[in-house]
Structure 1
């Protein structure tokens, strides 16, 4: 599917002419994904050990190993978060071998994880868009392990399950979407007459790492559209910690210039780390003048070990096996 040429404008929507084909294709993909998810969920249930319909893929006694590929971070909380996420995956699919490998900065490194494995493996990047890591680093690591029959799944994003997790993290941080312009909202957004806050217009910045790869920006823009829909039409603008921008402060200012004074930052990161902290701090120091009735900005936590993310990891694993039977050489499966 060819990516759309348009990108979201300041109001969080894309140019209609440039995204008509994408909208039509997205509807078809949503229907297809829903049907596929039903089938994969049934397969996952029936393949659990002890199930009356225990499935052995192609006569295998052991399913291919799921290798979760994390980026890695010097923040110790990142490894704890990824470990908790994979514990959720194991709980959802008992009997499925799950391993972890990092691209850099943390042990175990992906190359070491693959060197220790034998047989078959499906690599699931815990990355949220296409980019250099998915196109170069991970395939290079697989190529260095010719003893494995391996396939590489698509990155986690974009996907409606990520929009669900982002919505949940925003709610946990105190964001309240769906309050129409002109309607009063209760504290904590600032006390008004009789303890009721002045009206606010909600907006969200989707804070992402950023990349020089244009495909990454396309993927983040799609997630922004999915999150906007999940929030009931609240405008969502991407903001980046690196790359060509816009930066998170620039996205905050763009929303504020349009009259959105209740602005939240959704942390589009798998786990805590330098970029996630940088984006959260930038949101508070974006340089937007706080008028008397302006709501304080909030920054949500990263996706972390949210159940929807664990389900998505298994979905990518199953999609990869469904569309590309395991056999050398390794290849990336785009979904």
Structure 2
């Protein structure tokens, strides 16, 4: 069985490097499991291309922080086009608590201190369910920071990140709700905050979640793993 990490894709080479870093970390955690990277937009190979050359069954883990259009439409369409007959799709990665732990770590590493305002900056979506996922993530991050976390969107939804920053107080940090570097993260530097955290990237907690998703989908026989350990 093959694990396919399905990411959005970006024209920024640094973004592709991060996705490969996540895949490499998962390979180390799941020795013997083939791990492939696919993209549903912008970059290749596409999910259709990867699945069409996979031998046997596959587990697709959508590396998205909300279950928006790409997860609900593009992923199943590309699976269908591949002709693959045995594919299991796990839930998207966000807004799982493990991802929020990673976001909090990145925020602290950027220099945020308690008492400063926080804006969770997300890419945005026209899908109301994806927007709801971002707001759920902000509520979870509020628990970790001990204060109300505002939501701001880079595109396609309101409020915008600058609007959220303006309402969050005199000292504001942007917590990046982005998986990898790219144009969206670059734009955050000019949106009025005192500091911006790094994208989540190959944070150990995110890798933990990918592995958990794969194991829950039956990527390996858990009893075999326990014996091996």
Equivalent residues in 2 for 1:185-264, closer than 5 Å: 201-231=115-145, 233-256=146-169, 261-264=170-173
Structure 1 partner of 2:222 = none
Structure 2 partner of 1:312 = 209
Q: Tell me if the contact between 2:7 and 2:62 (Cα under 8 Å) persists in the aligned partners.
A: yes
Aligned with residue 112 of structure 1, among 49, 58, 81: 49
After TM superposition, give the deviation of residue 312 of structure 1 in Å.
Answer: 0.7
After TM superposition, give the deviation of residue 319 of structure 1 in Å.
Answer: 2.7
Q: How far does the alpha carbon of each residue in 1:61-84 deviate from its partner, in whole angstroms, 9 at most, with x for none?
A: xxx211000111011100111111
Higher relative contact order (CA 8 A, sep 6+): 2
After TM superposition, give the deviation of residue 176 of structure 1 in Å.
Answer: 1.4
After TM superposition, give the deviation of residue 280 of structure 1 in Å.
Answer: 3.0
Structure 2 partner of 1:21 = none
Equivalent residues in 2 for 1:1-335, closer than 5 Å: 64-177=1-114, 201-231=115-145, 233-256=146-169, 261-284=170-193, 297-321=194-218
Stretches of structure 1 that go unaligned for 5 or more consecutive residues are: 1-63, 178-200, 285-296, 323-335
Q: How far does the alpha carbon of each residue in 1:128-163 deviate from its partner, in whole angstroms, 9 at most, with x for none?
A: 001110111000011112233001111101111111
2:29 and 2:144 mapped to 1: Cα distance? Answer: 25
Stretches of structure 2 that go unaligned for 5 or more consecutive residues are: 220-229
The CA RMSD measured in Å over matched residues stands at 1.4
2:213 and 2:139 mapped to 1: Cα distance? Answer: 21
Q: Tell me if the contact between 1:66 and 1:98 (Cα under 8 Å) persists in the aligned partners.
A: yes
Q: Please give the TM-score of this superposition, normalised by the length of structure 2.
A: 0.91
Q: Tell me if the contact between 1:118 and 1:147 (Cα under 8 Å) persists in the aligned partners.
A: no
2:186 and 2:51 mapped to 1: Cα distance? Answer: 31
2:172 and 2:69 mapped to 1: Cα distance? Answer: 31
Matched residue of 1:144: which SS? helix
2:141 and 2:58 mapped to 1: Cα distance? Answer: 32
Which aligned segments of 4 or more residues in structure 1 are displaced greater than 6 angstroms? none
2:192 and 2:183 mapped to 1: Cα distance? Answer: 14
Aligned residue pairs, count? 219
2:8 and 2:84 mapped to 1: Cα distance? Answer: 23
